[in-house]
Chains A and B, each alone.
Chain A
C-alpha cells in the first residue's frame, strides 16, 4: 500500500545531510516508521491549489548600533574558547 519506499540507504543519506550519526538498529527502525509517516504525509497531494494573499511582508529598516551581550557573556556557554573566540573542530 505504500508508495513511500524509504530504504536504509535513504535514511543514512538524510542522516548524513542532517549531521546525525545513526547505528544500524536506528536506521532499520527509522526506515519502518518513516514509511508509515510519509504515507500519511502523501495525503497532502489531494490538497487543491489555494489562492492566498501572503500574510507576511518584509519590513526593512536601517541598521542601528545598540547594546548587546558583551564578548564574555556570549562565550559563557561555549565548551571551549581561545583568545576570546569560540573554538570548534577542524574545518578540512
Chain B
C-alpha cells in the first residue's frame, strides 16, 4: 500500500510471536523508539542511517504479545513540534483533510491509524505529542502516568516529562495496547509497579453515572469558538449519562507553557549533546579541532526547531540565567502539581478541549515558534504534573474537522479516564 500521507519514515515488517493478546494485529511505531536492526531516525538527518543494536522494552513487549510491527512513523524532529512539519523526511498530511497537519509530534502514528495503515500505533508524549495528533486526526491517544511505561530504548528529548503511549481507533483498543506495554522494567529505574497485570481494556465501559467531572475554566476560555461548541456538547453527553459537571480553577496552568518549554528545552540541550558524530550519527570529519568538527555536524544535520530549542535550553541553564528561568520553571511545575492534587480532592476527572484550535493548514504555523508553543497550553500541564490523560474524538467542526476531548486523571488513575472516555469512543 502506498504511503499516501507520508506517515512512515521506514516501512519494514517485524514479525511478532505466533500467539498472544495482539496476535494478528498490526502496530506502527514512532521513529524515536528503538527497533533492533531497523533504522530509527527520530525524524532527523543526524540519525538517517542509525540502526539500533537493541529493541526498546515496549517493542519487545509488542512482539511478545503477537503484534506485527509494520513500520516506523514520521515525527517532528526529535519530537520537537506540534505539526510533524519539522521532520527531515517531509511533512505528514492529515488523512481527514490533506491540506492540514496531522498534529505532532507523533503525527505519523496518528495518521497511520486514521488512514487504516495500522490497527494501532505507539507515540511518545513529552508535552502533548500523543494527544495532539490523536485529536487532530480523530483517533484516541493516551499519555500514561509518568513511570507506568518503560522509556528504555526511547531516544530521549526531555526525560522528566515524557512517556510512550498508545494510539488506536477506539478507547478499548488504546487500552488493550496500554495493557501490553505498561508495567515495571528493570531497564528503566523510573518505572513503578502500577500497571503490572493491568486490565485497562476491561474498564472501557463508558460508565459515568455518579462521576464528577471538573472543567478548569483557564483551559477552556482560550479555545476557538468551534472547539468550544463541540466541547460543550460533549459535556452535555456526560450530563445525560449521569455525570456531574463542576467548574474548577487551576491558576497555575497560566504558567504551564512557559514552565514546560524552559524545562523541556533545558533537558533537550543536555540530552542532544550526545549527537557529536563520533559514536553514531553523521560525522563532522576528522580535520581540525574537535569543537569545530562537532559544531559543524550539528549545524548541518540538525533542523531549525531543534537548534532553537538546544540554544534556548543552553541559555536558560547558563550562568546568570539559571535562577531566573530554570529554577522558576521548577517552582511552577511544583505549583501545577499541587493545583491538580487539590482539584482531585473534589472531582474524579478533569475535562478540557485537547487542543484549543482546529488542525492548522500545512505551512501555517512554521514561521512563529511562540505561537506554535502556545497551541500546547492544554496538554503540557499534564506532563508537568506527571498525570495520565486521554484524548478521545468529541465531534466535528462545521467543516468536518475533528475535535478532541481531553480527560485527565489522578496519578495512576488510567482506569478512571479510560472508563469515562469510552462514553464517546
A contacts, CB < 8 Å to B: 10-11, 14-22, 26, 30, 33-34, 36-38, 40-50, 52, 55-56, 59, 69, 73-74, 76-80, 86-92
Contact = CB atoms under 8 A, between A and B. Distances in A.
B255 A21 contact: no
Given A77-B51, A78-B280, A88-B278, A41 B258 contact: yes
A37 B373 contact: yes
A32 B285 CA distance: 32
14 contacts: A20-B299, A21-B295, A30-B311, A37-B373, A38-B315, A41-B258, A42-B324, A48-B335, A52-B338, A55-B386, A88-B276, A89-B286, A89-B290, A91-B290
A79 to B, nearest CB: 4
Given A14-B315, A52-B334, A73-B53, A79 B282 contact: yes
Contact of B278 (A20, A38, A78): A78
A37 B262 CA distance: 10
Interface string B332-355: 101101100000000000000000
Interface string B240-260: 000000000000101101110
Interface string B295-327: 110110010000110111011101000001100
A11 B312 CA distance: 9
A37 B370 contact: yes
Contacts of B307: 20, 22, 26, 30
B262 A17 contact: no
Given A41-B325, A55-B386, A86-B279, A17 B258 contact: no
Contact of B258 (A11, A16, A36, A43): A43
B209 interface: no
B298 A21 contact: yes
Please list the 5 inter-chain residue pairs (A to B) with the smallest Cβ-Cβ separation, ordered nearest first. Answer: A79-B283, A21-B299, A52-B334, A77-B280, A44-B328
Interface of B: 49-51, 53-54, 189-190, 252, 254-255, 257-259, 261-262, 269, 273, 276-296, 298-299, 302, 307-308, 310-312, 314-316, 318, 324-325, 328-329, 331-332, 334-335, 337-338, 369-370, 373, 386
A74 B53 contact: yes
Contact of B286 (A10, A43, A77, A90): A90
A89 B311 CA distance: 23
Given A18-B311, A19-B294, A30-B311, A47 B328 contact: yes
B331 A33 contact: no
A92 B283 contact: no
B314 A18 contact: yes
Interface of B is mostly: helix
Contacts of B332: 44, 47
B279 A40 contact: no
Contact of B269 (A18, A48, A69): A18
B257 A40 contact: yes
Contact of B288 (A44, A55, A90): A90
Contacts of B273: 18-19
B53 A89 contact: no
A51 B261 CA distance: 22
B53 A20 contact: no
Nearest to B54: A69
A44 B314 contact: no
Contacts of B293: 88-89
Interface-central residue, B273, B296, B312, by most chain A CB under 10 Å: B312
Contacts of B257: 40
Nearest to A72: B53
A80 B245 CA distance: 61
Nearest to A34: B312
Given A20-B310, A30-B308, A45 B328 contact: yes
B278 A36 contact: no
A89 B295 contact: no
B331 A89 contact: no
B333 to A, nearest CB: 9
Nearest to A46: B255
B311 A20 contact: yes
A17 B314 contact: yes
B262 A77 contact: no
Nearest to A23: B299
A65 B195 CA distance: 28
B237 to A, nearest CB: 35
Contacts of A87: 278, 286
